[in-house]
Amino acid sequence: MDFKKQLSEYQNLINAYIEERFKKFKANEKLLSAMKYSLSAGGKRIRPVLLFAFAEAFGVKAENVLPFAFSLECIHTYSLIHDDLPAMDNDDMRRGRPSNHKVYGEDFAILAGDALLNLAYETCLSACKSEREVSATKYLAECAGFSGMISGQAYDIEWQFSTADEKKLLEIDRLKTGKLLKAPIIMAGLLAGVKTDDLEAIGDKLGVIFQFSDDLLDVIGDNEKMGKTLGKDQKEGKVTAVTVYGVEGVKDKIRKLERECLEIADKYDNFDFIKNLIVYVSERNS
């Protein structure tokens, strides 16, 4: 199937699942509305798509990993809601709309994030049928938790305005963005009972590509396509891949990592969609 068509099929699959789940929830109306506001605001759904793509390449149907895809998107969305808060990155726009706290207030934005995080694990645990699902859930918790994404956010807050330092930059990126990007790839392997160093390598490299592209797009991207305020990192003097390597330097690094990922993917006969996805992530403009 054509790449764009398959991509939108995967995006539609997760979007429909989100809609279905929310129809059944009963809770405080404003809280549910705040949760749904951010979760349904669009977004590329790259983490669910990565999970579907790798799971299907290993013979597990996308439909069968939906609860895990949903949980990844819930955790990602909670991190964006909390990251946009005035106490964190203080962003007014996200996914092309006013940030959660701008619409629902800081109190409900915090609660919506907390609720999405809990919903993620509730969903994973309800889908645990064997040791495979338990391992995937545990892996997700490690990636999102105190030694993963949250640690990355903590280092980012501590180091963001220190002098441009490649080692610190790579550590922030590996944890803050990389962990949740790598999670679906390894989770797909765990759910399918496949473990290879190749998945680790693609996951690590794709995480760096993703954050470097984000830093690049903050400088050369289009506000409308990105759906958030650009140029903020530079204006605030934040250390990013662009301050460390320069615009052309970052582009070179992304191209090199993209080639390395494609070389690994080439070893597998049925990785055509995955190869296109690697190119899509590496050359994205939103």
Instruction: Verify binding: residue 179, ligand GRG, rule CB under 6 A.
Output: no
In the bound state with ligand GRG, the residue whose beta carbon lies nearer, of 6 and 77, is: 77
Site string for ligand GRG, 47-76 (x = CB under 6 A): -----------------------------x
Q: Which amino acid is at 250?
A: V
CA distance 253 to 240: 13
Nearer to ligand GRG by Cβ, of 172 and 192: the residue is 172
Residue 171, interface with ligand GRG (CB under 6 A)? no
Residue in 13, 57, 95, 207 binding ligand GRG, rule: CB under 6 A: 95
Binding mask 238-277 for ligand GRG (x = CB under 6 A): ----------------------------------------
Contact between 207 and ligand GRG (CB under 6 A)? Answer: no
- Residue from 68, 70, 82, 240 touching ligand GRG (CB under 6 A): that is 82
Cα-Cα end-to-end distance for the chain: 23
- Could you tell me the smallest distance in angstroms from the CB atom of residue 117 to ligand GRG? 9
Cβ distance 187 to 133 under 8 Å? no
Please select the residue that binds ligand GRG; options are 214, 251, 268, 272, rule is CB under 6 A.
214
- How near is the Cβ of 266 to ligand GRG at its closest, in Å? 25
Nearest distance, CB of residue 1 and ligand GRG, angstroms: 22
Told to check if 93 binds ligand GRG by CB under 6 A, we report no
Is 11 an interacting residue with respect to ligand GRG (CB under 6 A)?
Answer: no
- In the DSSP assignment, the letter for residue 26 is -
Binder among 18, 43, 203, 238 for ligand GRG (CB under 6 A) = 43
User: Of 192 and 244, which CB lies nearer to ligand GRG in the complex structure?
Assistant: 244
* CA gap 207, 215 in Å, rounded: 13
What is the DSSP annotation of 163-184?
A: PP-HHHHHHHHIIIIIHHHHHH
Q: Which helix (H) or strand (E) holds 94?
A: strand 93-94
Whether the CB-CB separation of 241 and 215 falls below 8 Å is answered with yes
Binding span for ligand GRG by CB under 6 A among 12-20, 31-39, 43-51, 273-281: 43-51
CA 80 vs CA 34, 100, 133, 252: distances in Å:
13, 9, 26, 28
Does 211 interact with ligand GRG (rule: CB under 6 A)?
A: yes
Closest CA to 115 of 77, 84, 144: 77
Select the residue interacting with ligand GRG from 51, 74, 116, 149 (CB under 6 A): 149
* Chain center to CA of 205: 14
Give the torsion sign (CA, 209, 264, 138, 32).
positive
* SS3 readout for 224-275: HHHCCCCCHHHHCCCCCHHHHHHHHHHHHHHHHHHHHHHHHHCCCCCCHHHH
Q: Give me the residues that bind ligand GRG (CB under 6 A), please.
A: 43-44, 46, 76, 79-80, 82-83, 88, 95, 149-150, 153, 176-177, 211, 214
